Amino acid sequence: MAYSEKLLDYFQNPRCVGEIPEAHAVAQVSNPVCGDVMKLWVKVEGGRIQDAKFKAQGCSAAIATSSYATELLIGMSVADARLITKEQIAEALGGLPTSKIHCSVLASEAIKEVLKGF
């Protein structure tokens, strides 16, 4: 399975890259098998995610899923953000090859981890 145009766009032009100096929460997750790492910063006010940024190290699918997931979070309620699944992330990017599903798992795990305190 080839990568979709949308996935390639998120890889080549990642959104929401960086750090939030005064973030309300930060989480880092990794996949020990492939070595992919994602760090996620969020700023939350009134139960809504006001800003989200990420840094990721990994393959093109890891960058794309991290970028998409982070962009998706902005403006979302914490309750709704907790419901984001790896399948939702993968499907929104036009699907992932079976060997790259772990990339959407990385993004969904980062979201769950960063929102634990809210």
The tens digit of pLDDT for each residue in 19-78 reads 999 999 999 999 888 889 999 999 999 999 999 999 999 989 999 999 999 999 999 999
Which residue carries 């080839």 as its tokens? 2
The one-letter amino acid code at 88 reads: Q
Marked catalytic residue, from 34, 37, 76, 101: 34
Known active-site residue 34:
yes
90-101 burial, b for 16+ CB within 10 Å, e for fewer?
bebbebbeeebb
Read off the tokens for 63. 């960058």
Closest to 6 (Cα-Cα) out of 48, 57, 67, 83: 67
Q: How far apart are CA 17 and CA 67, in angstroms?
A: 7
Known active-site residue 59:
no
Marked catalytic residue, from 103, 105, 107, 114: 103
